[in-house]
């Protein structure tokens, strides 16, 4: 698993829903604390720290926002278990430029929890 990898868990009732999730921390540095965020359709009350336009990723077909408030910390082992069970479907990784924008948005977002932001800060991926 690498930073920028993207996946979807289509099974209802799992702890992660059917949004596209992206790894934004560095799993090579910390396999036990992998920070992931999801993409969600832009709405009036959306966090605008990172807005994606159609085509910036194959999954994005309309204006989309990164949902920093819904960020989760999982382990690489948890993700690998879901993969083995067929509960996770891989998607194209985000580009390095988009990954950087998502991380910058994490630093700018007032909805990203400090605990989650600290993972990125500790890894030297963002500054706050």
Predicted local distance difference test score (pLDDT) of residue 19: 82
Residue 60 lies in a domain: yes
Predicted local distance difference test score (pLDDT) of residue 112: 95
The list of the chain residues with pLDDT below 50 reads: none
Residue 98 lies in a domain: yes
Predicted local distance difference test score (pLDDT) of residue 94: 97
Run of H or E including 67:
strand 64-74
Predicted local distance difference test score (pLDDT) of residue 102: 97
3-class DSSP state for residue 20? Answer: strand
Residue 128 lies in a domain: no
Residue 1 lies in a domain: no
Predicted local distance difference test score (pLDDT) of residue 18: 73
Predicted local distance difference test score (pLDDT) of residue 75: 95
Number of domains in the chain: 1
Predicted local distance difference test score (pLDDT) of residue 14: 57
Cα Rg of the chain (Å, integer): 14
Domain hosting residue 38, numbered range: 6-122
Residue 127 lies in a domain: no
Predicted local distance difference test score (pLDDT) of residue 11: 57
């Amino acid at each position: 698993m690498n930073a920028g990898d993207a996946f979807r868990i289509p099974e209802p009732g799992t702890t992660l829903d059917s949004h596209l999730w992206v790894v934004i921390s560095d799993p090579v540095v910390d396999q036990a604390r992998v920070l992931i965020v999801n993409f969600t359709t832009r709405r009036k009350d959306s966090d605008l720290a990172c807005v994606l336009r159609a085509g910036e990723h194959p999954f994005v077909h309309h204006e989309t926002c990164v949902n920093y408030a819904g960020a989760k910390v999982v382990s690489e082992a948890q993700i690998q278990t879901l993969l083995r069970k067929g509960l996770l479907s891989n998607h194209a990784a985000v580009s390095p430029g988009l990954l950087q924008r998502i991380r910058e948005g994490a630093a700018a977002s007032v909805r990203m929890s400090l605990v989650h932001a600290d993972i990125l800060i500790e890894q030297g991926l963002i500054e706050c």
